[in-house]
């Protein structure tokens, strides 16, 4: 089975949800009117607001209602799976950095709120951590969603691949000064979990940060199949899912694990 993915590496307008939503909607429509349509579209982290953390209380999408309505409509209309990056989701408990996943029917097939909050960018002052794993399926393929800082916690990724995930979708606003970390960590996560890693970063800058871009598609051997540059762009590639089974058979790390010794 092959799955074609398209990553929208967006230059996010700081604290301007309307502008970002219009930009993303236009880009999705343009992707879906081309001759070779993707099976999955991926958006970056906090794509509606950027890291306008001090105003998230007023900018947050309450219960994700507006995002869910729009992305569900687009997924159903264009018969495409959408990993809708993450947004600031508001609730009575506070604001979470939440990913929504939609299947081809427009149904919400996955939801994950960022577990690991990044103190260096003050996330812990403005966001509540998630409580759930990021497991879902894309056209029957076991998958998982993770958000930015999560990739520094290999045990968190392993918690998903030991439950069958064959593709790890990462959405991020990863800064340029740590670009080398971004690439090294993602390649490592692909190799050690023998899975595809599909990582959509943002482009551009905000008042406090310059972002790295360099969205990546990495195969289960750790080979980079496609890589963007720093500019706003669409990165496309094809996942050959049989390769996951082949690599896991060649080097059977999941059979050879000895988790009783790891604590």
Task: Give the catalytic positions in this structure.
Answer: 45, 114, 148
Buried/exposed code over 158-189 (b: 16+ C-beta within 10 A; e: otherwise) = bebbeeebbbbbbbbbbbeeebeebbebbbbb
- Residue identified by tokens 């496609």 is 226
Residue 232 vs residues 100, 200, 228: alpha-carbon distances, Å: 22, 11, 9
DSSP lists the bridge partners of residue 90 as 62, 95
Inter-residue contact 106 to 137 (CB < 8 Å): no
Please count the CA atoms within 13 angstroms of the CA of 29 that sit on its side-chain side. Answer: 8
**DSSP result, 54-120:** GGHHHHSEETTHHHHHHHHHHHHHHT-EEE---EEEEETTEEEEEEEEE-TTS-EEEEEE-SS--GG
Q: Pairing between strand 81-83 and 2-9?
A: unpaired
Q: Please state, as a whole number, how many other Cβ atoms lie within 10 Å of the Cβ of residue 223.
A: 11
């Amino acid at each position: 089975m092959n799955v074609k993915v398209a990553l929208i590496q967006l230059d996010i307008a700081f604290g301007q949800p309307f502008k970002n939503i219009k930009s993303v909607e236009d880009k999705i429509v343009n992707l879906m009117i081309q001759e070779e349509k993707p099976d999955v579209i991926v958006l970056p982290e906090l794509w509606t607001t950027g890291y306008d953390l001090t105003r998230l209380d007023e900018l947050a999408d309450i219960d994700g209602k507006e995002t869910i309505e729009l992305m569900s409509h687009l997924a159903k209309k264009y018969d495409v799976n959408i990993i809708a990056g993450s947004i600031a989701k508001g609730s009575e408990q506070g604001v979470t950095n939440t990913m929504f996943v939609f299947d081809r029917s427009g149904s919400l097939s996955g939801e994950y709120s960022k577990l690991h909050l990044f103190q260096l960018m003050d996330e812990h002052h403005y966001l509540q951590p998630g409580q759930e794993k990021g497991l879902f399926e894309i056209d029957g393929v076991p998958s998982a969603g993770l958000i930015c800082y999560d990739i520094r916690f290999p045990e968190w990724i392993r918690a998903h691949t030991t439950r069958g995930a064959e593709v790890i979708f990462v959405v991020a606003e990863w800064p340029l000064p740590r670009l080398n970390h971004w690439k090294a960590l993602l390649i490592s996560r692909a190799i050690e979990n023998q899975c595809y890693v599909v990582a959509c970063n943002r482009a551009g800058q905000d008042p406090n940060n310059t972002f790295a871009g360099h969205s990546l598609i990495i195969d289960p051997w750790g080979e980079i199949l496609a890589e963007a540059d720093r500019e706003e762009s669409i990165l496309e590639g094809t996942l050959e899912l049989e390769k996951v089974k082949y690599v896991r058979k060649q080097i059977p790390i999941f059979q050879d694990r000895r988790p009783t010794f790891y604590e």
